[in-house]
Amino acid sequence: MELRLTAEQEALRRAVRHFAETEVAAAVPRMETEGDNSFPSELVSRMAQLGWMGIPVPTEWGGAGGDFISYIAAIEELSRISAAVGVILSVHTSVGTLPIMKHGTEEQRRQVVGKLASGQWLGAFALTEPQAGSDAAAIRTTASRGDGHYALNGTKLFITNAGAAQMYLTFAVTDPSLGTRGITAFLVEQGAPGLRIGRKERKMGLHGSNTCELSFDGVVVPETRRLGAEGEGFAIAMGALDGGRIGIAAQALGIAEAALRLLENGLLSRPGGSAGSRSKHAPAGGRGRRTAELAELAELTARVEAARLLVYRAAYLRQAGRTCTKEASVAKLFASDTAVDTSGAAVRLLGREGYARPYPAQRLFRDAKVTQIYEGTNEIHRIVIGNHLLR
């Protein structure tokens, strides 16, 4: 069993790591302080120039011709430095581009996927609504059929990349009597009459990533921009979320790795020293406290290594075209819990350099928390995993 990246995959990882440690790292302070104006459009443009906005998309559709594992490695590396940049690319690719590549017509692939994969357009995924978060079947946005078009009406909430995206993969109810089989997917462009970008959420973490409300007031969408057949929208969304959850798991893995490095530097760089102190003298608690800290570091190291294996197992299955709903949920659940626990330990054990804003540990903790919430809360993933086991 091969447990390492190919030469091509490793070359991409190294290139993304260099970009993240130089250009992305330089932009992090601005993303953390500029509020509503913090979206890193210049970094998105640079990733487009480098060919990374369509890593797993074939070259004939404007992509880089890479694979899903390469894409996951890129998300991991970006998220080690900025989880915000990681999620921008993850949403754009996993749930903004790949569903259109899989379910779109030849014309949609050529026109829409080509613009997304080249980075000319940024993609977003408009599923969540005020009353429909983890329960996607409860959406109320409607799509009324007219003569060769549909009219969309409703509200979407907590939409990543909103306001910066040029294409919104949007889900609406075309036949309420059919339940989930009455949901249909549509491709809605930025600037469509009746589409309004609402308030930008002020989040505890992921500063730099746009998260906004969308409202649809009679937005006209031609039949040619319906994705798949009527009633296939729920299945399209669930399939997209399997890949999306692996992307979020990779984001969480990157956060956990960054927090683990901070802990290693803080606990191991000063022999006999301890977290929270820059003194040359041994801290209160002495050897016993030191032993307890190293034991916790060892435990977290084991969990991060396990998370890496789970994330890449799910990515391998996705790349091979195999069903991976359970494996994606396991990876997302375990990696996100590990990210929160590892970054939380960094805040707790590094003292002033864990809690104070100029230092990265507190940012990693704030960024980590949402990985337990979006792309399905971890409570939902426990149910998904349990249901698969009971089958």
The pLDDT score that the predictor gives to residue 290 is: 78
At 296, list the tokens: 């916790």
At 157, list the tokens: 């909430």
Of 10, 76, 375, 379, which residue is the catalytic one? Answer: 375
Note the pLDDT tens digit of each residue in 59-100.
999 999 999 999 999 999 999 999 999 999 999 999 999 999
**Is 240 found in the same domain as 383?**
yes
- How far apart CA 364 and CA 348 sit, in angstroms, is 12
**Is 109 found in the same domain as 194?**
no
* Residue 286 pLDDT > 70: no
Domain boundary among the residues 234, 266, 281 is at: 234
Domain boundary among the residues 175, 200, 234 is at: 234
**Is 179 found in the same domain as 310?**
no
pLDDT band at 353 (very low <50, low <70, confident <90, very high): confident
* Residue 364 pLDDT > 90: yes
CB atoms near residue 38 (< 10 Å): 17
**Is 47 found in the same domain as 109?**
yes
Cα separation values, 37 from 134, 152, 297, 355, Å: 29, 29, 37, 25
Mean pLDDT, residues 117-123 taken together: 97
Q: 29 lies in which domain range?
A: 7-118
**Is 351 found in the same domain as 294?**
yes
CB of 119 within 8 A of CB of 54? Answer: yes
**Is 267 found in the same domain as 366?**
yes
Answer yes or no: is 19 within a domain.
yes
The pLDDT score that the predictor gives to residue 3 is: 76
Is 136 strand, coil or helix?
A: helix
Mean pLDDT, residues 7-17 taken together: 97
The pLDDT score that the predictor gives to residue 335 is: 98
At 261, list the tokens: 């490095």
* Residue 271 pLDDT > 90: no
**Is 182 found in the same domain as 51?**
no
Q: How many degrees, rounded to 5, is the angle at CA 292 between CA 288 and CA 294?
A: 115
For position 382, which CATH number holds? 1.20.140.10
Is 75 strand, coil or helix?
A: helix
Q: CB-side exposure of 37: number of CA atoms within 13 Å?
A: 3
Mean pLDDT, residues 46-62 taken together: 96
Note the pLDDT tens digit of each residue in 176-212.
999 999 999 999 999 999 999 998 999 999 999 999 9
* Residue 283 pLDDT > 60: no
**Is 229 found in the same domain as 288?**
no
3-state secondary structure 239-278: HHHHHHHHHHHHHHHHHHHHHHHHHHHHHHCCCCCCCCCC
**Is 341 found in the same domain as 257?**
yes
Decide the pairing of beta strands 149-160 and 167-173: unpaired
**Is 260 found in the same domain as 218?**
no
The pLDDT score that the predictor gives to residue 306 is: 98
For position 200, which CATH number holds? 2.40.110.10
pLDDT band at 173 (very low <50, low <70, confident <90, very high): very high
**Is 142 found in the same domain as 85?**
no
* Residue 281 pLDDT > 90: no
Contacts of 371 (CB under 8 A, 6+ apart): 83, 248, 249, 251, 252, 255, 332, 335, 336, 339, 340
189 is catalytic: no
pTM as predicted = 0.92
- How far apart CA 75 and CA 83 sit, in angstroms, is 9
Buried b (16+ CB within 10 A) or exposed e, 128-165: bbeebbeebeebebbbeeeeebbbbbbbbbbbbbbbbb
Mean pLDDT, residues 248-255 taken together: 98
Where do the DSSP E strands lie in the chain? Answer: 123-126, 142-145, 149-160, 167-173, 183-189, 195-200, 211-222, 226-227
Q: How many domains does the chain have?
A: 3
**Is 205 found in the same domain as 258?**
no
Answer yes or no: is 1 within a domain.
no
